[in-house]
Amino acid sequence: MSSLTVQHLTKSFGSTPVLAGIDLTVPSRSLTALLGPSGCGKTTLLRLIAGFEEPDAGTVSLGGAVVSGGGRTVPARRRGIGFVPQEGGLFPHLTVAGNVSFGLPRQERRDRERVRELLALVGLDAALADRHPHQLSGGQQQRVALARALAPRPSLVLLDEPFSSLDAALREETRREVVEALRATGATAVLVTHDQAEALSMADQVAVLRGGRLVQLADPQTLYRRPRDLDTAAFVGDAVVLDADVRGGQAHCALGTVPVAEGCPDGPARVLLRPEQLRLGPPSAGAVLAVVHSVDFYGHDARVVLDLAAGLRVAARLDGADLPAGGQQVAVSVAGPALAFPGADAALGEAVRSP
Highest mean pLDDT among 41-50, 257-266, 314-323: 41-50
Give start-end residues of each CATH 3.40.50.300 domain in the chain.
Answer: 4-225
Q: How many CA atoms lie within 13 A of 90 on its CB side?
A: 30
- Asked whether the predicted pLDDT for residue 149 surpasses 50, the reply is yes
233: burial class by Cβ within 10 Å (0-12, 13-18, 19+)? buried
Q: Give the class (CATH, top level) of 238-353.
A: mainly beta
Average pLDDT of every residue of the chain: 89
Q: In whole angstroms, what is the distance from residue 343 CA to residue 185 CA? A: 47
Q: For residues 135 and 105, which has the higher predicted lDDT (pLDDT)?
A: 135
pLDDT at 240: 94
Q: For residues 1 and 21, which has the higher predicted lDDT (pLDDT)?
A: 21
Evaluate the CA torsion angle 118, 123, 124, 125 in order and state its sign.
Answer: positive
Q: For residues 111 and 72, which has the higher predicted lDDT (pLDDT)?
A: 72
pLDDT at 62: 93
User: Is 210:234 a contact under the CB 8 Å cutoff?
Assistant: no
List, as one string, the DSSP characters of 49-80: HHTSS--SEEEEEETTEEEEETTEE--GGGS-
pLDDT at 248: 92
Q: In whole angstroms, what is the distance from residue 295 CA to residue 306 CA? A: 9
Q: For residues 164 and 345, which has the higher predicted lDDT (pLDDT)?
A: 164
> Which tens digit of pLDDT belongs to each residue from 340-354?
998 744 444 344 444
> Which tens digit of pLDDT belongs to each residue from 185-201?
888 999 999 889 899 99
Record the pTM.
0.85
> Which tens digit of pLDDT belongs to each residue from 172-182?
888 888 888 88
Of the chain, the percentage scoring pLDDT greater than 70 comes to 96
Q: Which fold has domain 4-225?
A: Rossmann fold (3.40.50)
